[in-house]
Amino acid sequence: MALAKTRSVALVGVDGFVVDVEAAITSGVPGLHLVGLPDAALNEARDRVRAAIFNSGEPWPGRHVTISLFPASLPKKGSGFDLSIAISLLAAAETIEPAACAGMVMMGELGLDGRVRAVPGVLPAVLAAANAGYRTVVVPRANAAEAELVPGIEVIAASSLHGLLCHLRGQAPPPEPDEADPPPFTPCLDGLTTRSRDLRGDLDLADVRGQAEARRALEISAAGGHHLFFYGPPGCGKTMLAERLPTLLPPLDREAALEATAIHSVAGTLPPGQPLITRPPFYAPHHTATRAAMVGGGQGRLLQPGAASLAHQGILFLDEAPEYNAGVLDALRQPLEEGEVMIARAGASTRFPARFTLVLAANPCPCAAAKSIDCTCPPAVRHKYLARISGPLLDRIDLKLELHPATRAELRYDLELVERSEVVAERVLGARERAAKRLAGTPWRTNAEIPGPQLRRRFLPSPEAMASVDRVLQTGELSARGLDRVLRTAWTCADLAGRDTPSAADLDSAFALWTGRRS
C-alpha cells in the first residue's frame, strides 16, 4: 500500500482548522473514494482532480484510491481541498517524493485543464495554519497577496498543477499563461445590497447645509464608536449625514484591518486588487433584507456572514429603519451588546465578529410629508410607525436626534465657510488617541466598547459631575443600560474637548443625546 499526506484548512465561519489530507493507493476496484464528511462541492473534487491530473501530463493510478480528511468528524466544504487532494494522490503514487509536500498546507480549486483557481477564505485559512505551527503554504496565484499578509509564512503562489509539481521536483517552472484569474464565487445572501462606490472620494461633510447639532452628533459617533439614530422629515439630510460618517473615521489599525479582511475573504467580497481592507467598511442593506442577510446564516454547513459582520470595524447604515421587518432589527440586539453573531444550525454552528457602528434613519410617519402641516397621519399612526423600532433596540442607541429642514439662510450659506470632513476628522483622531492612551493595556479601542461594570468601576466621573445623572436615575428616566450609554458618550465628549474627565456639562449633553431631547 502506498501512502502520502498533505494538509489543508477547513473553515467554520472565520475559524480555520488544519485538516490532514491522506491518500492511500490499495488493491481493489479502480476509482477514488473520498471520506471525512465532505459536502457536495468537495465530493465533486474526484472528477476535477482526475481531469486536472490527466491534463497536466501525469499518470492516473489504475488502482483503488482512498482520500481521508482528518479529523473525520469535522465538516468540510468547498473546492479549496482540490489541490491538496491532487498532490497527496500523486505523492502516494510516487510521482513526486512524499517528503517534498509533507510539511505544506495547500488550498486551491483545480480547473479541468490543471489551472489553480482562487478560493474564498484564504486569509483566515493561512492564519489558522500559522497558529498551528506551519510555515509554508501553497495558494492560488490570485490569492497570494492576501496570504502574504500573515507574517512569518512562506507563500508559494501556484498558477497550475503542473507548475507546482515542477516546483516540488526542483525543476524549472514552465511558462504560465498571463491570464486574469476570476474572483472566487460566493453566493450572495438575499436582500443584501451595498454601496459600491467609494464613500470617501467624492463626499464631504461640508456638503450638508445647516444641521449643526447633527454634525456634532456625527463627530461624537465617529470619535467614540457610538450608535446613532436620526429621525425627521425627508430632505433634511439624514442620509447625507450618514454617508459622510466614513469620511470622519481614521484608517483601521493592523489588527482591525486583518479582522475585517478575514470576514470579507470568507464572504468572497474582497475588492479586486485590494488584499487588505484598510478603511472602515460601510454597508447599507436594502430594507427588504432578510434576517439571514442581516446577521448571517445559511443551510447546514454553508454558513455565511451577513451585513452585520461585513460591517465589522465599520458602519452599518439602515435607511428607512421602520420599513425593515421587526425581527430583522431585533436580531441586531445581540451583536450590539456582544460584538459578535452566534449562528447555530443542525449541521454546524459558528460565530462571526460583528462590532460595528449602527446608524439608523427614519421618517416620522408613513406619509413622509416634507412639512408637518402637510402630514395627514393621525398621532396613533405616527406613534405606531416609529414603534416598529423596538424599545430594547433604541435603548442600545447612544445618540438620538430629531432633524428639522434647513432654513433658507442655511441653504444659501457659503460652502467655503463650512467645516470640511478633514478638519473634523483631525479632532476625531485626537479624541481617539486620548481614548487609546487611557485604555492602554485593555482589549478595548473606543469608549463604546468598554463594558458597563468596568466603566462604572474604573471610569466613573466625579460625584459632582454625576449629580444630574443620579437624579434622573432616581426618577426612573434613565435605565441601567442607559447609564452605561450616557457615561460612554460623556467620555467621548470629554476627549473631544481635551479634558481628562467628563464634566457635568458633558454628562448633561450625553443624557440629552440618549433621550433624543435637544440639549
Q: Are residues 126 and 48 in the same domain?
A: yes
Q: Are residues 264 and 365 in the same domain?
A: yes
Q: Is 295 among the domain residues? A: yes
pLDDT at 180: 56
Continuous H helices in 231-378? 238-243, 254-267, 291-295, 307-310, 326-330, 333-338
Q: Is 179 among the domain residues? A: no
CA distances from 190 to 165, 193, 267, 293 (A): 41, 9, 13, 6
Q: Are residues 136 and 272 in the same domain?
A: no
Q: Are residues 361 and 281 in the same domain?
A: yes
Q: Are residues 407 and 472 in the same domain?
A: no
Q: Which of 118, 127, 111, 183 is nearest to 157 (CA)?
A: 118
Q: Which residues, 6+ apart, have CB-to-CB distance to 508 below 8 Å?
A: 468, 519
Q: Are residues 215 and 254 in the same domain?
A: yes
Q: Are residues 158 and 210 in the same domain?
A: no
Q: Is 348 among the domain residues? A: yes
Q: Which three cell numbers stand for residue 61?
A: 493510478
Q: What are phi and psi of 9, to 5 degrees?
A: -135, 130
Q: What is the pLDDT of residues 231-260, one digit of tens each?
A: 998 888 899 999 999 999 999 999 999 999
Per-residue pLDDT of the chain (519 residues; tens, 9 = 90+): 589 999 999 998 888 999 999 999 998 888 899 999 898 888 899 999 999 999 999 999 889 999 999 998 888 888 999 999 999 999 999 999 999 998 899 999 999 999 999 999 999 999 999 999 999 999 999 999 999 999 999 999 999 999 999 999 998 888 776 665 655 555 444 444 444 444 445 889 988 888 889 999 999 999 999 999 999 988 888 999 999 999 999 999 999 999 999 999 999 888 877 889 999 999 999 999 999 999 998 766 678 899 999 999 999 999 999 999 999 999 999 999 999 998 887 767 888 999 999 999 999 888 877 666 667 788 888 888 888 999 999 999 999 999 988 877 777 766 666 789 999 999 999 999 999 999 999 999 899 999 989 998 899 999 999 999 889 888 888 888 889 999 999 999 999 999 999 999 999 999 999 988 654
Percent of the chain with pLDDT over 70: 91
Q: Is 435 among the domain residues? A: no
Q: Are residues 327 and 469 in the same domain?
A: no
pLDDT at 262: 93
β-strands 15-26, 64-70: how paired?
antiparallel
**Is the Cβ–Cβ distance between 355 and 312 less than 8 Å?**
yes
Q: What is the pLDDT of residues 95-121, one digit of tens each?
A: 999 999 988 999 999 999 999 999 999
Return the HEC string of 155-201: EEEECEHHHHHHHHCCCCCCCCCCCCCCCCCCCCCCCCCCCCCCCCC
DSSP for 72-128? TTS-B-SSTTHHHHHHHHHHHTTSS-HHHHTT-EE--EEPTTSBEEP-S-HHHHHHH
Q: Are residues 376 and 274 in the same domain?
A: yes
Task: Name the pTM for this structure.
Answer: 0.88
Q: Are residues 304 and 376 in the same domain?
A: yes
Q: How many domains does the chain have?
A: 3
Report how far residue 88's alpha carbon sits from residue 96's, in angstroms, rounded to the nearest whole number. Answer: 9
Q: Are residues 158 and 218 in the same domain?
A: no
Q: Any idea which residue has 489541490 for its cell? A: 83
Q: Are residues 164 and 223 in the same domain?
A: no
Q: Is 310 among the domain residues? A: yes
Report how far residue 320's alpha carbon sits from residue 425's, in angstroms, rounded to the nearest whole number. Answer: 27
Q: Is 18 among the domain residues? A: yes
Report how far residue 277's alpha carbon sits from residue 230's, in angstroms, rounded to the nearest whole number. Answer: 28
CATH number of the domain where residue 471 is located: 1.10.20
**Is the Cβ–Cβ distance between 278 and 324 less than 8 Å?**
no
Residue 297: DSSP 8-state: B
Q: Is 376 among the domain residues? A: yes
CATH number of the domain where residue 287 is located: 3.40.50.300
HSE-up of residue 114 (Cα within 13 Å, Cβ side): 15
pLDDT at 494: 96
CATH number of the domain where residue 28 is located: 3.30.230.10
Q: Is 337 among the domain residues? A: yes
Q: Which residues, 6+ apart, have CB-to-CB distance to 253 below 8 Å?
A: 445
Structural domain for 511, as ranges: 450-518
HSE-up of residue 391 (Cα within 13 Å, Cβ side): 4
Q: Which of 266, 254, 297, 263 is nearest to 283 (CA)?
A: 263
